[in-house]
A = this chain, B = another copy of it.
Amino acid sequence: MSHNSFGHLFRFTTWGESHGPAIGAVVDGCPPGLELNEGLIQPFLDARRPGQSKFTTQRQEPDAVRILSGVFEGRTTGTPISLMIENVDQRSKDYSEVAQAYRPGHADYAYDAKYGLRDYRGGGRSSARETASRVAAGAVARLVLPEVTIRAWVAEIGGDAIDPANFDAAEIARNPFFCPDAKAAARWEKLVDDARLAGSSLGAVVACEATGVPAGWGAPLYGKLDADLAAAMMGINAVKGVEIGDGFAAARLSGETNADPMRPGATGPEFLANHAGGIAGGISTGQPVAVRLAFKPTSSILTPVETIDRAGAATQIRTKGRHDPCVGIRGVPVVEAMMALVLADHKLRHKAQCG
């Protein structure tokens, strides 16, 4: 069972609520002998950290990670790695409204329907704050994958997409949008700021690519690499769609145009295209593993929305707290982390059966 755990051999379990004392992850199954310290995790948390530009929520969290177990003299021991991040900026605000009324688009109603009660402060367990735990765990997963390079970026905000011709990987770190197209980034400044000022929100498409994955990772039929990636990505807050390779566009191609022909290459087959996104029959082909995700617009908006309260009576709610105008932006480090976590698990699984 995996209510709050993910992975099989490289496995992590997260815990914690938005406004509790801390959040954290326990990483189990990590190979021993890998160099690990807080300094190797912190940069990834810093990339996800809120409050770094006006385009993300203004909650101020240092997100300083502590390693509580599983590391000895700077190396992993093979035992569980407990990672903890204290919650610092749980601003004392009045939650009486959200305690009583369900915010449409949020998990409020569904949680109450399931559990009969919920920690409503900042969204509780359903807060995107939980993704910091994933990013921390993902940083550990990367250590298992020295041969793999993982890179994610925002490909589209509010329907305004990047121009692939302008793609420059170096650009991703230079703007607050993780945008590889400098021109698009310039446009998004106004787009996102307008939404922010209007108390509105925007959706986004995030793309992620892992290069260096050898052919052979994955498993038929209910342990397919693409199926596990789909679960990993769809499980990120606000994600409503996942594509591998050409995704929905492939449904509009003919068999001839969708083929990925092969010819002999220097170090194995050379593929003439990658419509498949690096995965065939659930198993990696050696091409870049390519995924795209749709993030819905943040559900927290200033415009009042019709809703009901806990007693079932009609009411309205609008969200006044600190929020991301486009939650997809901060999703980029989370997507990279989930990619690393899936690949690390499958690397070990492959090694177990076929290594």
- Which of chain A's residues 309-355 have a Cβ closer than 8 Å to chain B? 312-314, 328, 348-355
Taken residue by residue from 7 to 42, chain A's Cβ proximity to chain B (1 for < 8 Å, 0 otherwise) reads as 011010111110011111010111111000000000
In the bound complex, residues from chain B placing their C-beta under 8 Å from that of A106 are 280-281
Q: How far is the CB of A57 from chain B (nearest CB, A)?
A: 14
B296 touches A251 (CB 8 A): yes
Contacts of A258 in B (CB 8 A): 105, 203, 296-297, 299
From known contacts A13-B28, A241-B241, infer whether A227 and B235 are also in contact, taking CB-CB under 8 Å. Answer: yes
Q: Which of B26, B109, B125 contacts A262 (CB 8 A)?
A: B109
Tell me the nearest residue of chain B to A6, going by C-beta. B222
Q: Can you show 25 pairs from A to B with CB atoms below 8 A apart?
A: A2-B222, A4-B28, A4-B79, A4-B219, A5-B28, A16-B69, A17-B79, A22-B68, A33-B115, A69-B125, A78-B354, A79-B119, A109-B262, A109-B285, A110-B218, A111-B281, A115-B354, A205-B248, A230-B230, A240-B243, A240-B250, A243-B294, A250-B297, A253-B297, A349-B352
Give the CA-CA distance A325 to B20 in the complex, in Å. Answer: 41
CB pair B21 A68 closer than 8 Å: yes
Q: How far is the CB of A203 from chain B (nearest CB, A)?
A: 4
Q: Which of B69, B118, B202 has a CB less than 8 Å from the CB of A20?
A: B69
Which residues of A, 42-101, contact B by the 8 Å Cβ criterion? Answer: 66, 68-70, 72-73, 75, 77-82
**Which one, A145-153, A177-185, A269-277, is touching chain B?**
A269-277
**Complex contact A301–B16 (CB within 8 A):** no
A176 interfacial contact with B, CB 8 Å: no
Is A244 a contact of B251 with CB atoms below 8 Å?
Answer: no
Interface: A209 (CB within 8 A): no
A190 to chain B, nearest CB (A): 15
B110 & A216 in contact (Cβ 8 Å cutoff): yes
The answer to whether A221 and B110 touch across the interface, beta carbons within 8 angstroms, is no
Across the interface, which residues of B come within 8 angstroms of A117, CB to CB?
32-33, 72-73, 75, 77
Cβ contacts under 8 Å, A301 to chain B: 255-256, 259
Task: Report which of B9, B32, B118, B349 forms a contact with A72, defined as CB distance below 8 A.
Answer: B118
Look across to chain B and name the residue whose beta carbon is closest to the beta carbon of A206.
B251
Chain B residues with CB under 8 A of A259 = 104-105, 299, 301, 305
Determine whether A124 belongs to the interface, using a CB cutoff of 8 Å to chain B: yes
